[in-house]
DNA sequence: ATTTATTTAAACAATTTTGTTGAACAAAAA
DNA sequence: TTTTTGTTCAACAAAATTGTTTAAATAAAT
C-alpha cells in the first residue's frame, strides 16, 4: 500500500492558514483554498471532510502552539524584564506572520455553532500574574491590577499590526514606511511598560 | 402622496449596523437583517438594492461620523491633557457600543472589490500630530515619533474591548467582571500616556 | 377619489457554495 | 500478477443566497 501521504494534507492546512490568517481572506471558500494549494477541491473535503472542520483544526493548532510558546516564556527562569522582552519578541513575530489570526478568531466566535476558543493551560498565566504583582511591589512598574499590565502589553503589540491597513491610510504611509514604524515599537513598548 | 418614509430605511440601516458592528455577525445575510428588523427581505433590496451597497453605506456613515467626532476633539480649544481625555471618552464610548466596527472594517478591506476606507479629512490629524510634538518638547510626554503616541493611545483603548471574548476566557472572567476591568482603564490610560 | 409611495408576499432565475459519490489511477502488499 | 489501499478528480445533487419581478395590499397626500 502507498505510504500515507501527509504532504497534501499539510499543504492544505498551511494554505488555509495563509489565506485566513496571513492574507485576511475571511470568506475564503474550499475552492479558494484548493486553487491556492494548486489542487482539486475534492482533496480538501477528502482530508478534512468539511470546511468548518478544517477551520476548527487550524484554529486549535494555532492557539495551542501560540499559548504554548507564550507559556514557555512566562514560566522561564529569567529576570522579569527579559521575560517581557521575550513576550514582545514571540508575539510580534507571530503577529507579523499572521496579522489576522486574532481578528479571525474574535469574529468567528460570533458565528453560531463555532467553539474555537481552545482550552488553554491557565497555569503559566496565573503564576505570571503573581510575578507581575511582585514586580509592582518592587516599584519597577506601576501598581494596578496585574491583568492591566498584560492587557496593555498585548494591546500595544497586536493592535497596530492587525489594524495596519487602516492606520497606513490614516497616516498616509506606504507598507514599507509603516513596517519601519512597527519595527521601532519593540524598544518603545519595553520603555512604555517600565515607565 | 405619503411623506417619504425614512422610518423603515433608517430601521434597516440601524439593524444592519447592530448586527455587523455590535453583535459581530460578520456573515449576516439580507434575510438575517430583514428578520432582525421584523420585515420582508424585499424591503432591504427596495431601499438599498444590494447587500454590498447597504454595507458600503453604513461603513461610510460610521467612519465619517467617528472621524468627525475625533477631529472635533483634536482641533478643539482645550489644553492637551483634556483633549486626550476627550479622545479617550469618545473612543471608549464608540467601542463599547460597536466593538466589532474596526474588526469588520479591516477584514472587509481584504475582501476583493471593497473600497470601504472613506476619505477622511487629514487636517485635524496632522495638526494634532504637531501639537503632540510640541508637548514632547515640553516634557510632559515621552519623546518619540508622535504617530506612536496616537497609535499607543488607540491601541490601549480599542484592543481590549474588541478582543474581550478572548481575554475574558484568558483571564477566566464573566462579562460583568470584564466590563469593570474596562471601566478602570480610562483613568489608567491617561496615567500611562503621561508617564 | 385618485394618485403616489410604501410594504408584503410569492415566485423565480442565477449564482455560489457545499458536500458526496464513483470511477480512474498509482503504489504497495499479497 | 492480483489484490488492496490510498489518492485524485470530474460530475452530481443539495442547499443557501442573492437579486428581480409581479401582484396585491396599504396608507397617505392631493
**Residue B66 pLDDT exceeds 70:** yes
Q: How many CA atoms lie within 13 A of A170 on its CB side?
A: 22
Do residues A132 and A149 lie in contact, with contact meaning Cβ atoms separated by under 8 Å? Answer: yes
Give the integer Cα–Cα distance in Å for B78 and B176. 34
Q: What is the DSSP letter of A140?
A: S
What pLDDT is attached to residue A121? 78
pLDDT at B5 over 80: no
- Average pLDDT, integer, range A128-135: 96
Q: Does residue A2 have a pLDDT over 90?
A: no
* Distance (Å, whole) CA A23 – CA B187: 36
Among A20, A129, A147, the residue to mutate for chain B (most B Cβ within 10 A) = A147
Q: For B151, which residue in chain A has the nearest alpha carbon?
A: A160
User: B6-28 pLDDT, tens per residue?
Assistant: 678 999 999 999 999 999 999 99
Measure the CA angle with vertex B193, ends B84 and A100; round to 5°.
95
CA distance A193 to B156: 12
- Specify the pLDDT at position B2: 43
More confident residue, A4 or B143: B143
Q: How large a percentage of chain B has pLDDT more than 90?
A: 69
List, for residues A31-69, the tens digit of each pLDDT value: 999 999 999 999 999 999 999 999 999 988 888 888 888
Residue B111: what are its φ and ψ, rounded to 5°?
-85, 120
Q: Which of residues 126-145 of B touch strand C (CB under 7 A)?
A: none
Chain B residues 39-98 within an 8 A CB cutoff of chain A: none
Section A90-116 average pLDDT: 85
DSSP letters for B26-43: TT--HHHHHHHHTS-HHH
Q: Confidence class of residue A5 from pLDDT cuts 50, 70 and 90?
A: low
Distance CA B74, CA B80 (A): 9
* Dist CA B137 CA B148 (whole Å): 15
B126-150 tens-digit pLDDT: 999 999 999 999 999 999 999 999 9
DSSP A118: -
Domains by residue range for chain A, with CATH: 1-49 (1.10.10), 62-193 (1.10.357.10)
Contact B24 A106 (CB under 8 A): yes
A157-187, pLDDT tens digit by residue? 999 999 998 899 888 899 999 999 999 999 9
CA torsion through residues B102, B105, B109, B111, sign:
positive
How many C-beta atoms surround the C-beta of residue B125 within 10 A?
A: 19
How high is the pLDDT of residue A3?
53
Query: What is the predicted pLDDT for the residue at A45?
Result: 94
Interatomic separation, CA of residue A1 and C1' of nucleotide C29, rounded (Å): 6
Amino acid at each position: 500500500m502507498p505510504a500515507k501521504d501527509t504532504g497534501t494534507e499539510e499543504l492544505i492546512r498551511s494554505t488555509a492558514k495563509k489565506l485566513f490568517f496571513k492574507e485576511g481572506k475571511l470568506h475564503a471558500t474550499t475552492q479558494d483554498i484548493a486553487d491556492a494549494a494548486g489542487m482539486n477541491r475534492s482533496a480538501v473535503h477528502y482530508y478534512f471532510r468539511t470546511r468548518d472542520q478544517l477551520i476548527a483544526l487550524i484554529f486549535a493548532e494555532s492557539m495551542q502552539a501560540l499559548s504554548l510558546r507564550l507559556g514557555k516564556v512566562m514560566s522561564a527562569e529569567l529576570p522579569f524584564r527579559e521575560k517581557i522582552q521575550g513576550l514582545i519578541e514571540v508575539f510580534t513575530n507571530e503577529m507579523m506572520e499572521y496579522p489576522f489570526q486574532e481578528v479571525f478568531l474574535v469574529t468567528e466566535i460570533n458565528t453560531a455553532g463555532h467553539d474555537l476558543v481552545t482550552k488553554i493551560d491557565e497555569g503559566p498565566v496565573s503564576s505570571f500574574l503573581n510575578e507581575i504583582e511582585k514586580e509592582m511591589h518592587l516599584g519597577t512598574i506601576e501598581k494596578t491590577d496585574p491583568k492591566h499590565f498584560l492587557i496593555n502589553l498585548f494591546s500595544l503589540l497586536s493592535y497596530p499590526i492587525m489594524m495596519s491597513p487602516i492606520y497606513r491610510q490614516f497616516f498616509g504611509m506606504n507598507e514599507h514606511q509603516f513596517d519601519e514604524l512597527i519595527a521601532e515599537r519593540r524598544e518603545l513598548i519595553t520603555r512604555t511598560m517600565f515607565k
